[in-house]
Amino acid sequence: MPLADSSMLNEISFFSALDDDERHTLAQQIDLIHLPKGHTLFRTGDPGGAMYLVHSGAIELYLPQENGDHLPLKVAERGEMFGELALLDNQPRSANALAIEPSELLVLDRDDLSVLFEKHPDSAFDIITVLTRRVRETTDLYAMAAIRNANEVIDAEMEIEGSASERIADWMTEIASSIPFLYTNAGLFAIWILVNVGVFRFLRPFDPYPFGFLTMSVSLEAIFLSLFVLISQNRQAKRDKIRNDIEYEVNIRAEKEVRALAIRLNELEETVTEQFERLSDFGPSAPAASAAD
């Protein structure tokens, strides 16, 4: 149903750049819908063409996963908006939207903006500025989601490929590179040497100078630790390869999306410019008609 009451728009940051007349015009066009908790507003692939602003409640945006789980992107709460990409390009939805609380949403579609731009051409620049800022935020949001998903893929693949001995190598490398391990070795070596040089007369030396047994033990420790480090480095190289492959794919997709978005913004700019030109053609005729009367 139409909103009609423009006072509700005052609480939405998206409309903060509009003046009272512009908000009043938009209130005659924009719709208010009510969603119960658990209701799915749209799914990935559903038709676009409209964006939503949360007046009350909360909407979770997420990406469905092949294993049945979902990757949360954001929870849109009171005063926030979502779905602006589908408004700009009129393309299918790129995420799912679920009401996690009983919610009231304002629905803004392309026809609503057309009416606003025709009556108040200057509002086009304010709307474009806000939408462009939101597109940047959405791009950052998807980038963060891509990185988080990459980590999950790496952990899953390394868990499948890695044997028990490789996981032990990771564990031993982590221990050997710690400060407590350094202090423990230093303490053992110091006690070993002090005992075997006769500092503690109540203890019988068991490895007198030049400490052959100690030398052999340290050499064996160094050999095994070196092998553990090499095995762990090989696993790290596999992780890096998986991450690089995923990041390359993400970068390619991001480049395509940025190019497509630039094209869409140019088209929107051309549309607004045409609106300005058409309205400017009507401008001189109005005084002329008044003079004729």
Q: Domain residues of the chain, as ranges?
A: 6-116, 162-260
Report the pLDDT value the prediction gives residue 287, as an integer from 0 to 100: 46
Q: Is the pLDDT of residue 181 over 80?
A: yes
Separation between Cα atoms, residue 87 and residue 94, nearest integer Å: 12
Q: Is the pLDDT of residue 267 over 70?
A: no
Q: Is the pLDDT of residue 32 over 90?
A: no
Q: Is the pLDDT of residue 149 over 70?
A: no
Question: In b/e form, how buried is each residue of 38-62, taking b as 16+ CB within 10 angstroms?
Answer: eeebbeeeeebbbbbbbbebbbbbb
Comparing 115-119, 139-143, 214-218, which segment has the lowest mean pLDDT? 139-143
Mean pLDDT value of segment 188-197 = 86
Separation between Cα atoms, residue 77 and residue 182, nearest integer Å: 51
Please, which contacts does 257-265 make with residues 24 or more away whose CB atoms are closer than 8 Å? 257/139, 258/139, 260/89, 261/85, 261/88, 261/89, 261/135, 264/88, 264/89, 265/88, 265/128, 265/132
Separation between Cα atoms, residue 77 and residue 180, nearest integer Å: 47
- CB neighbour class for 132 (10 Å; exposed up to 12, middle 13-18, buried from 19): middle
- Kindly report the length of the chain: 293
Separation between Cα atoms, residue 99 and residue 75, nearest integer Å: 9
Mean pLDDT value of segment 80-107 = 83
Question: CATH for 6-116, among 3.40.1360.10, 2.60.120.10, 3.40.50.300, 3.50.50.60?
Answer: 2.60.120.10
176 vs 32, residue with greater confidence: 32
Mean pLDDT value of segment 245-271 = 70
Mean pLDDT taken over the chain: 75
105 vs 227, residue with greater confidence: 105
Mean pLDDT value of segment 208-221 = 84
Tell me the backbone φ, ψ of residue 231, rounded to 5 degrees. Answer: -65, -45
Among the ranges 25-29, 120-124, 214-218, 269-273, which has the highest mean pLDDT value? 214-218
Residues 6 or more apart whose Cβ sits within 8 Å of residue 20? 6
Among the ranges 50-59, 142-151, 156-165, 231-240, which has the highest mean pLDDT value? 50-59
Separation between Cα atoms, residue 115 and residue 131, nearest integer Å: 17
Instruction: Find out whether 85 and 91 touch, Cβ atoms under 8 Å.
Output: yes
